[in-house]
Amino acid sequence: MSKLVRLEIDGKPVEVPAGTLVINAAKTVGIEIPAFCYYDGLTLQGACRMCLVEVEKSPKLVTACTLAAAEGMVVRTQTPQVVQARKAMLEFLLTNHPLDCPVCDKGGECELQDLTFRYGLGESRFLETKVHVPEKQWSAVVYYDAPRCILCYRCVRICKEGMGVSALAVVSRAVDSEIAPNMGDHLYCDECGMCIDICPVGALTSQDYRYQTRPWEMKHVGTICTHCADGCTTTLGVYNNRVIRGNNHDRTGLNGEFLCVKGRYAHDFIAHSERLKCPLMRVDGKLVEVSWSQALAEVAARFGGIRSRGGKFGVIGSTRTTNEENWYLQKFAREGLGTGNIDHHRSGDVISLLSALKGRADALAATSDLYERKAALVIGSDLAQQHPLVAFQLRANWRHHESHIYTVTRGPVREDAYSRLRVRAEAGRELAAAKSLRQALQAEPELLILFGDCVRGAAVHELVEFGDSLGIPVRYICLVDYVNSRGAMDMGLTPGLLPGYQPAAAPGLDLAGMLAAADLDALWVVGANPLKNAALAAERAFVVVQDLFLTETAARADIVLPAACAYEKTGTVTNVCGEVQRLSRAVTTMGAKPDLEIFRSLAARMGLDLGEPETDRVYAEMRRQLPVPAAGEAARGVVASAGDTLFTSGTLGRYCGVLRNVREAPGGLYQ
């Protein structure tokens, strides 16, 4: 904790740590100092001059965004001189501003509008003709309107500093200055839209949202992004039961202002024309539309029949469904169908990690550690591609706290640019390569270890032993990939472990085992696509699939039940660091039902009493005492990363127009 200094702002005493900027010190006592170019966490610019204040003993007005609070300082933010200066800056900004607010996407949530309303002059004295420059499209996502740009350089900084991409720069000079994309006339970047979101005015707009609606006409629903395990909050703008945009402008959630291209734009799959809206049943070898009651009755009857003759079930759960759904599904399988054959696509070996840690809860990292810990070792992951938020937080930590980053990867990754040491390791050699960093790591005061799917089974135990041997506090993150990968394991969607990693009395078949079992009578697949690259051995098995789209697996089904997506339901999901977050329903798709509702209807029709999901209790227990999973469980399951990049999202990515339209940004960009 740095030492405190006392100063006075508008007569109010203020006490803040030395080094605090006056603009932030003022906030602590409820005084707003208007600003455009200042943005928390980005480098200082002093460019817009909106934050000029009077400081005793200083002959000129001073920018509060660059001035560090000092002992005894006397600041005034409301004097006639300050008020007049703000008016002047706004008048300057509006000289060539088109003032096309009525048709500007930003209208209603524009910082220039807001500050002009609060601090501006009533009228403009600028009589010269305004210079018009046509708008430019820079990519499938980004548009730039130069006359609207107030040159606050937020976009340039968020792209360079926040994203590590540096795709935007200022070109020309004087009044001709403008922002330009890295490829001259187009952008080659992550397409994250951070620049658009951070733009205080409507100079940067997105293909997605342009001219769609007015911000005040939308309902804003904060929920959790469904595309990866990092757990970003995305605020969906909904108009007429349609998601118009995603952003996180209010900086809530674990991600602050961050969202990657997926969290921000990949919501168009919801309203995709191929979305399933009616149950399908195989009749004469073809899938035909049937009513919900017909489909459910058929499933209940067939499941009931197979159960009563002691047939063999296989249940494959989802990494995208909620904890409540996962809990209910495993209970359905184990108690309702009487089978232990339950699994899901595992993308990281959390189970071995928990087992190796033997209940040391404090050795599991939280998302906040990414920004706070003094050193981090990344093993076998292209973070910027696979875990955009994790990468963003590590980068912010390096920028703000000069944390030390170490990378062990197969090829070049964006983290190379700021890692202290980097080691290239072929597949399978990652752990050994990580160990070669021992000396440097030992000298760190603390360490965070992030590892991908290449470290699994015994290697995880070996990694934890290595971590323990460093003699410093070490925390771990097992990089699982899907939005609720972690929750699927926590809730017992594994053959050997019950919810909370309690050992199952009689472990069943794992995913590969089910697909290979020629005598399987029924396969129930919920929100997964196991038949994408694999075959089902039991040719005559009765297959039920719950999904959004007619995937390869659904195409093989006997009954297909249209499911609601994460943006259409409530419940909780658990992110890569084990943080449980709540989903909110933004829209509904007529005809599709949340998986939990499907489970319940089926249970009712089968006469099963499975009660309410008890996820809260499971969490409470897990939190009280970190479970130690039965050894050997992990070795039996297949662990493989989703292999997603910034522009893919498992099967879902195929139905996201934006992801398909952006140019692929190959790794070469990040060298």
Partner 1 sequence: MTFSPELEARFEKLLKSYPEGRESSALVPMLLYAQDEIGAVTPELVEEVARRLRLTPAAVESVVSYYSMLRKHPVGKYHIQICTNISCQLTGGEELFEHACRKLGIGNREVTPDGLFSIEEVECLGACSWAPAIEVNYDYHHKVTPEALDRLIDSLRKLH
Partner 2 sequence: MPYNEPSPLEVKVLTRRFGLADSASLDTYLATGGYEALKKALGMTPGEIIEEVKLSNLRGRGGAGFPAGTKWGFVPRDSARPKYVVANGDEGEPGTCKDRLLMEYDPHQLIEGMAIAGLAVGAHAGYIYVRGEFRYIIRILERAVEEARGRGYLGGNILGSGFGFEVYVQSGAGSYECGEESALLESLEGRRGVPRIRPPFPAVSGAFQSPTVLNNIETYSAVPAIIREGGAAFAALGTPRNGGTRLFCLSGHLNKPGVYELPMGFNLLRMIHEVGGGIPGGKRLKAVIPGGSSCPVLKAEECDIAMDFDSLAKAKSMLGSGGVVVMDEDTCMVQAARRIMEFYAHESCGWCVPCREGTNWLRRLLRRFHAGEGSRSDIDLIGDVARNILGRTFCPLGDAAAMPTIAFVEKFRDEFEAHLEGRPCPFEGRRREVPAP
Binding site for partner 2 (CB under 8 A): 44-50, 52, 60-61, 66, 85, 88-89, 91-93, 95-96, 125-128, 150-151, 170, 172-177
In whole angstroms, how close is the CB of 431 to ligand FES at the nearest point? 48
Both tokens of 428, joined, read: 């399978």
Using rule CB under 6 A, residue 204 touches ligand SF4: yes
In whole angstroms, how close is the CB of 48 to partner 1 at the nearest point? 20
Output the CA–CA distances (angstroms, integers) from residue 425 to 203, 318, 431, 439, 620, in the order listed: 44, 32, 9, 18, 40
Which residues within the stretch 501-540 sit at the binding site for ligand SF4 (CB under 6 A)?
none
Using rule CB under 8 A, residue 95 touches partner 1: no
Nearest Cα neighbor of 551 from 526, 523, 532 is 532
Which residue number, 62 or 361, has a Cβ lying nearer to ligand FES? Answer: 62
In whole angstroms, how close is the CB of 93 to partner 2 at the nearest point? 6
Both tokens of 353, joined, read: 């990690």
Using rule CB under 8 A, residue 175 touches partner 1: no
Nearest Cα neighbor of 341 from 366, 314, 309 is 314
In whole angstroms, how close is the CB of 153 to ligand SF4 at the nearest point? 5
Q: Name every residue whose Cβ is closer than 8 Å to that of residue 186 and which is 6 or more positions away in sequence.
A: 138, 139
Show the CA angle centred on residue 652, arms to residues 651 and 653, nearest 5°: 90
Using rule CB under 6 A, residue 155 touches ligand SF4: yes
> Residue with structure tokens 């200042």?
38
Max Cα–Cα distance, the chain, nearest Å: 92
Using rule CB under 6 A, residue 260 touches ligand SF4: yes
Q: What is the CA radius of gyration of the chain?
A: 28
In whole angstroms, how close is the CB of 105 to partner 2 at the nearest point? 23
In whole angstroms, how close is the CB of 188 to partner 1 at the nearest point? 9
Which residue number, 131 or 518, has a Cβ lying nearer to partner 2? Answer: 131
Contact 637, 510 (CB under 8 A): yes
Using rule CB under 8 A, residue 173 touches partner 1: yes
Contact 497, 346 (CB under 8 A): no
Which residue number, 67 or 198, has a Cβ lying nearer to ligand SF4? Answer: 198
- Residue 160's CB is within 10 A of a number of other CB atoms, namely 17
Q: How far apart are CA 42 and CA 258, in angstroms?
A: 13
Output the CA–CA distances (angstroms, integers) from residue 247 to 154, 221, 222, 554, 595, in the order listed: 16, 10, 9, 32, 26
Nearest residue to ligand FES by CB is: 65
Using rule CB under 6 A, residue 151 touches ligand SF4: yes
Strand duo 52-55 + 474-478: pairing? unpaired
Binding at 441: pick from ligand SF4, partner 2, partner 1, none (beta carbon under 5-8 Å per type): none
In whole angstroms, how close is the CB of 20 to partner 2 at the nearest point? 16
φ, ψ dihedrals at 527, nearest 5°: 55, 50
Binding at 573: pick from ligand SF4, partner 1, partner 2, none (beta carbon under 5-8 Å per type): none
Contact 289, 278 (CB under 8 A): yes
Task: Kindly state the DSSP code that residue 567 receives in the 8-state scheme.
Answer: G
Both tokens of 474, joined, read: 């070490």
Q: How far apart are CA 614 and CA 96, in angstroms?
A: 60
In whole angstroms, how close is the CB of 112 to ligand FES at the nearest point? 13
Q: How far apart are CA 570 and CA 562, in angstroms?
A: 17
Grouping H, G, I as helix, E, B as strand and the rest as coil, residue 421 is: strand
Strand duo 447-451 + 542-547: pairing? unpaired
CA 443 from chain centre, in angstroms, equals 32
Using rule CB under 8 A, residue 171 touches partner 1: yes
The binding site for ligand FES (CB under 6 A) comprises 35-38, 46-51, 63, 65
Which residue number, 183 or 537, has a Cβ lying nearer to partner 1? Answer: 183
In whole angstroms, how close is the CB of 52 to ligand FES at the nearest point? 8
Which residues within the stretch 178-197 sit at the binding site for partner 1 (CB under 8 A)?
180-184
Using rule CB under 8 A, residue 253 touches partner 1: no
In whole angstroms, how close is the CB of 173 to partner 1 at the nearest point? 5
Using rule CB under 6 A, residue 203 touches ligand SF4: yes
Binding at 99: pick from ligand SF4, partner 2, ligand FES, none (beta carbon under 5-8 Å per type): none
Using rule CB under 6 A, residue 31 touches ligand SF4: no
Output the CA–CA distances (angstroms, integers) from residue 286 to 283, 549, 635, in the order listed: 5, 16, 39
Binding at 125: pick from partner 2, partner 1, ligand FES, none (beta carbon under 5-8 Å per type): partner 2
Binding at 166: pick from partner 2, partner 1, ligand FES, none (beta carbon under 5-8 Å per type): partner 1
**Helix locations, 517-656, DSSP H:** 552-556, 595-606, 615-624, 633-636
Which residue number, 39 or 371, has a Cβ lying nearer to ligand FES? Answer: 39
Binding at 49: pick from partner 1, ligand FES, ligand SF4, none (beta carbon under 5-8 Å per type): ligand FES
Using rule CB under 6 A, residue 560 touches ligand SF4: no
Nearest Cα neighbor of 565 from 137, 306, 335, 225 is 225
Which residue number, 150 or 557, has a Cβ lying nearer to ligand SF4? Answer: 150
Which residue number, 30 or 668, has a Cβ lying nearer to partner 1? Answer: 668
Using rule CB under 8 A, residue 170 touches partner 1: yes
In whole angstroms, how close is the CB of 107 to partner 2 at the nearest point? 21
Q: How far apart are CA 614 and CA 330, in angstroms?
A: 12
Span between the terminal Cα atoms of the chain, in Å: 36
Q: How far apart are CA 191 and CA 165, in angstroms?
A: 10
Task: Kindly state the DSSP code that residue 364 receives in the 8-state scheme.
Answer: B
In whole angstroms, how close is the CB of 40 to ligand FES at the nearest point? 11
In whole angstroms, how close is the CB of 9 to partner 2 at the nearest point? 20
β-bridge partners, 639: 346
What residues line the site for ligand SF4 (CB under 6 A)?
149-155, 179, 198-201, 203-204, 225, 227-228, 230-232, 255, 259-260, 262-263, 388-389
What residues line the site for partner 1 (CB under 8 A)?
166-167, 169-173, 180-184
